[in-house]
Amino acid sequence: MIAASLIFVLFTVAGILISERVQTSEIAAEEGADVAEVGAHNGRVLRDGDFAVELAIFERGVPPEYRVWVTNKGKPLDPQLVDITVQLTRLGGKKERVGFEPDQDFLRGNTVIREPHSFVVMLEARYQGKKYQWEYESFEGRTRIEPEIAESMGITTAVAGPAILRETTKVYGRLVVDPVRIREVRARFDGTVDSVRVELGERVSRGQPIIGINSNENLKTYTINSPIEGVVLERNANPGEQTDGRNLIVIADDGALLAELEVFPATRSRIQRGDTVWLRPRGTEKIVEGVIRQIDPVIRPNQSSTIRVSLQAPAEGLASGMFVAGNIQVAEYQVALAVKRSALQSYRDFTVVYAQVGDQYEVRMLELGREGGEWVEVLGGLEPGTRYVSENSYVIKADIEKSGAAHHH
């Protein structure tokens, strides 16, 4: 409930403070502005007297490309008679030039128009010795947020670049006392139990007297001391009983815990001794690092095997029997380009991040590869060195959606 209230407050503040936005569609316009004319091919119509050009992005069955239809006095012109060039200026000032060649009754652009289709468009046409020129904004998935507002909204950025991906697999199990730190106390010489000086669950120190035995050999009483520091797990003796070679007291070092985890064949084949494991005890937010110490060679009827994990730090606040969830590192990759998983958002049919240039933010459609830990490999759609929103990117998404982001051409 608290988290939901916080998100509501953030969006409310964003709605109040983010007052300056970049137009997100070449057709959508601010109130009172001229609405762009749409032509027969769902493109933008540009006019100069009787001469008119319709520019549209065509992407049905082909990679996105520009197509142009030209008319004069309302009648279609032979595309062979018109020379068209388009220059696109993207966020950050990068320019792309598009040339055109006649194709049937239109001119086809010679460059794939990559996503996002967000840029300043400058079109130049030459017909019968006369030059025509237009320039307009065609933005999508873009917004502007003042730096102070971005800071107050917790918007954090990072620079896209190489990263080490650590692939993990999920496993479950419980904590147990390390068996090498358990001591079973027996009488060296059988006899009668004279006294028991500890109770079940009591903590004892190394060398502390715990039980007295009256020996059958010399009828003298001798004392057995605790061999380790730990907790009494079992008390199997009471005064007056015979020892009979049995376990009288069992003491365990409860600070020496192992995790016993179940793994199945697909995971078992990918792990080995020495692999790193991150454990989260149930009901806590604590992360405990460990290392695989043993892989049980026996496969159980349910096809699982037990692996035993040594904890790398003292088991403060932990206890034997606690259930744990673990992540085992099964692979490590160095990739040339990656972004943080926390940066990813959905936009139309794409997974995206939001690039930052100054006080402007714009969508970047990604082709993703492998995932590992907090990182996701980027195969396409983002240039190395791009600054992107790594935390609270949902604020940018919400502002773009509130602005009416569209995808018209």
CB of 336 within 8 A of CB of 379?
no
Do residue 117 and residue 48 come from a single domain? Answer: yes
Is residue 12 included in any domain, yes or no?
A: no
Is residue 4 included in any domain, yes or no?
A: no
| CATH number of the domain residue 52 falls in | 2.60.40.3340
Does the structure show a pLDDT above 80 at 19? no
Higher pLDDT among residues 276 and 98, named by residue? 98
Is residue 394 included in any domain, yes or no?
A: yes
Q: Which of 42, 98, 54 is nearest to 407 (CA)?
A: 42
Residues 6 or more apart whose CB falls under 8 angstroms from that of 161 comprise: 337, 338, 384, 385
The arithmetic mean of pLDDT across residues 291-315, rounded, is 89
Which pLDDT belongs to residue 67?
97
The arithmetic mean of pLDDT across residues 268-286, rounded, is 89
Is residue 99 included in any domain, yes or no?
A: yes
Which pLDDT belongs to residue 312?
82
Do residue 243 and residue 320 come from a single domain? Answer: no
State the virtual CA torsion across 200, 201, 206, 211 in degrees, nearest 10: -10
Please count the structural domains in the chain: 4
For 404, the token pair is 């009416």
Which pLDDT belongs to residue 26?
38
Does the structure show a pLDDT above 70 at 408? no
Is residue 164 included in any domain, yes or no?
A: yes
Do residue 210 and residue 262 come from a single domain? Answer: no
Do residue 115 and residue 56 come from a single domain? Answer: yes
The arithmetic mean of pLDDT across residues 200-208, rounded, is 95
Do residue 109 and residue 44 come from a single domain? Answer: yes
What is this structure's pTM?
Answer: 0.68
Does the structure show a pLDDT above 70 at 2? no
Does the structure show a pLDDT above 90 at 286? no
Last residue of a domain, one of 219, 252, 285: 252
Q: Which of 107, 95, 143, 116 is nearest to 393 (CA)?
A: 143
Q: Which of 29-43, 105-119, 127-141, 369-383 has the lowest mean pLDDT?
A: 29-43
Work out the mean pLDDT of the chain and round it to a whole number. Answer: 89
Do residue 33 and residue 133 come from a single domain? Answer: yes
pLDDT tens string 351-380: 999 999 999 999 999 999 999 889 999 999
Which pLDDT belongs to residue 330?
86
pLDDT tens string 26-50: 334 344 445 789 999 999 999 999 9
Do residue 134 and residue 33 come from a single domain? Answer: yes
| CATH number of the domain residue 224 falls in | 2.40.50.100
Higher pLDDT among residues 403 and 71, named by residue? 71
Is residue 9 included in any domain, yes or no?
A: no
The arithmetic mean of pLDDT across residues 159-182, rounded, is 92
Last residue of a domain, one of 290, 310, 331: 331
Does the structure show a pLDDT above 50 at 7? no
Do residue 366 and residue 396 come from a single domain? Answer: yes
Which pLDDT belongs to residue 14?
47
| CATH number of the domain residue 317 falls in | 2.40.30.170
Is residue 120 included in any domain, yes or no?
A: yes
Higher pLDDT among residues 364 and 331, named by residue? 364
**At 11, is the pLDDT very low, low, confident or very high (cuts 50, 70, 90)?**
very low
| CATH number of the domain residue 367 falls in | 2.40.420.20
Range of the domain at 270: 171-176+256-331
pLDDT tens string 225-255: 999 999 999 999 999 999 999 999 999 998 8
Last residue of a domain, one of 198, 226, 252: 252
Do residue 297 and residue 205 come from a single domain? Answer: no
Which pLDDT belongs to residue 254?
84
**What 3-state class would DSSP assign to 224?**
strand
Q: What is the residue-wise DSSP string for 334-370?
A: EEEEEEEGGG-EEETTEEEEEEEETTEEEEEE-EEEE
Do residue 104 and residue 152 come from a single domain? Answer: no
Do residue 37 and residue 133 come from a single domain? Answer: yes
Distance of alpha carbon 196 from alpha carbon 343, whole angstroms: 62
Which pLDDT belongs to residue 28?
40
Which pLDDT belongs to residue 407?
52
Do residue 322 and residue 387 come from a single domain? Answer: no
Is residue 16 included in any domain, yes or no?
A: no
